[in-house]
């Protein structure tokens, strides 16, 4: 079995979940489920396709799952380590784009500035996938809700509580939950709330889906009624000099056994990883019966394979011959 019916996505690139129509998210999830079920037989979906991985930040899950995903489907990946020379420093981003589109069929970029992802996409004929930027983490949020959909059948009407920094993961979760009709409460210390533009975008999407978006500061009893409690590191990559300061500010925002006990019976715990046990989450929660973080980490592979299969196989975005 090596044939897979692949629908067209609305856009060439995956920059933000905000850009995805609900039908595209459903297509990604259906394709991911199929690829997961038939991993050992759907091995030539991306035969002869090549992927560039441009990373300015350290990575375990994103790098391995995109690389292994290409191998699984008969393609290959080339890793470009830009940690010492960030995008646009050694060479203009548009020139990098115009070179890479001659050699590969798609690009995954993991960078600091969100604008760098957008600029790369603007100058490429081939798909550009945001593997993480300072503003968004779309592949993570898509995976989070795919994992929850696997568990529950649907996420619409369920309630997520995100406790911690209003960062890139939080932003993508706001977009994804709002589009899929899942209620979300973000609980962050004052001054660390998510980006107001992202919140407004999520609220507009929520009006169509029937979801509720709430931003609060008080962590006391915030998990009441939650189906899933989510957290992330308090200091993201690039914020290492703020680690001690943030540890003090976020002290009351730790997800512990008491917080999970206030959630609904059978509530789940998620973390995008890497996790710091004893900081944003206790070891008892991270390694306990509520936690599905490693099931979720596995699903990064399958969801990202679906994204690759849908974009890199689309004839509209295949590499064009230059005259």
Q: Are 53 and 66 in contact (CB under 8 A)?
A: yes
| First-last CA distance in the chain | 37
- Residues labelled catalytic: 110, 137, 140, 232, 272, 300
In the chain, where the domains are located: 17-136+299-317, 139-297
Q: SS3 for 307?
A: helix
Contacts with 74 (C-beta within 8 Å, 6 or more apart), sequence order: 43, 44, 45, 46, 47, 48, 49
pLDDT tens by residue, the chain, 323 residues: 467 889 999 999 999 999 999 999 999 999 999 999 999 999 999 999 999 999 998 899 999 999 999 999 999 999 988 765 577 788 899 999 999 999 999 999 999 999 999 999 999 999 999 999 999 999 999 999 999 999 999 999 999 999 999 999 999 999 999 999 999 999 999 999 999 999 999 999 999 999 999 999 999 999 999 999 999 999 876 677 788 899 999 999 999 999 999 999 999 999 999 999 999 999 999 999 999 999 999 999 999 999 999 999 999 987 665 54
Q: Give me the phi and psi of 89, to 5 degrees please.
A: -85, -55
In angstroms, rounded to a whole number, what is the distance separating the alpha carbons of residues 298 and 303?
9
Element containing residue 129 per DSSP (H, E): strand 128-132
CATH ID of 139-297, from 1.10.490.10, 3.40.718.10, 3.60.15.10, 3.40.50.1370: 3.40.50.1370
CA separation for the pair 231, 275 (Å, rounded): 9
* DSSP reduced 3-state for 285: helix
Q: Class of the 17-136+299-317 domain?
A: alpha beta
Same fold, 17-136+299-317 and 139-297: yes
Q: Is residue 160 exposed (0-12), middle (13-18) or buried (19+ Cβ within 10 Å)?
A: buried
**CA dist., res. 321 & res. 6, Å (int):** 24
């Amino acid at each position: 079995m090596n044939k897979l019916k692949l629908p067209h996505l609305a856009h060439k690139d995956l920059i933000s979940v905000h850009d995805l129509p609900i039908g595209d998210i459903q297509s990604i999830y259906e394709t991911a489920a199929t690829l997961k079920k038939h991993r050992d037989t759907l091995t030539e979906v991306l035969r002869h396709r090549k992927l560039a991985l441009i990373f300015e930040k350290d990575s375990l899950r994103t790098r391995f799952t995109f690389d292994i995903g290409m191998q699984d489907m008969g393609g290959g990946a080339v890793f470009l380590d830009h940690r010492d020379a960030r995008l646009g420093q050694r060479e203009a981003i548009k020139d990098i784009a115009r070179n890479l589109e001659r050699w590969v069929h798609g690009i995954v970029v993991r960078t600091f500035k969100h604008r760098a992802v957008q600029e790369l996409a603007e100058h490429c004929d081939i798909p550009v996938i945001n593997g993480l930027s300072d503003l968004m983490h779309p592949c993570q949020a898509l995976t989070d809700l795919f994992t929850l959909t696997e568990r529950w059948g649907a996420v619409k009407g369920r309630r997520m509580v995100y406790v911690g920094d209003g960062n890139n993961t939080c932003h993508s979760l706001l977009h994804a939950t709002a589009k899929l009709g899942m209620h979300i409460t973000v609980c962050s210390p004052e001054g660390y709330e998510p980006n107001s533009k992202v919140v407004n975008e999520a609220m507009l999407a929520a009006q169509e889906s029937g979801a509720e978006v709430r931003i609060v500061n008080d962590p006391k009893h915030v998990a009441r009624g939650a189906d899933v409690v989510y957290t992330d590191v308090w200091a993201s990559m690039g914020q290492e000099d703020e680690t001690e300061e943030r540890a003090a500010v976020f002290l009351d925002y730790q997800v512990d056994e008491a917080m999970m006990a206030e959630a609904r019976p059978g509530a789940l715990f998620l973390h995008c990883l890497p996790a710091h046990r004893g900081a944003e989450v206790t070891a008892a929660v991270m390694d306990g019966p509520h936690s599905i973080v490693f099931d979720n980490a596995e699903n990064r592979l399958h969801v990202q394979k679906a994204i690759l299969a849908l974009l890199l196989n689309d004839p509209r975005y295949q590499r064009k011959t230059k005259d």
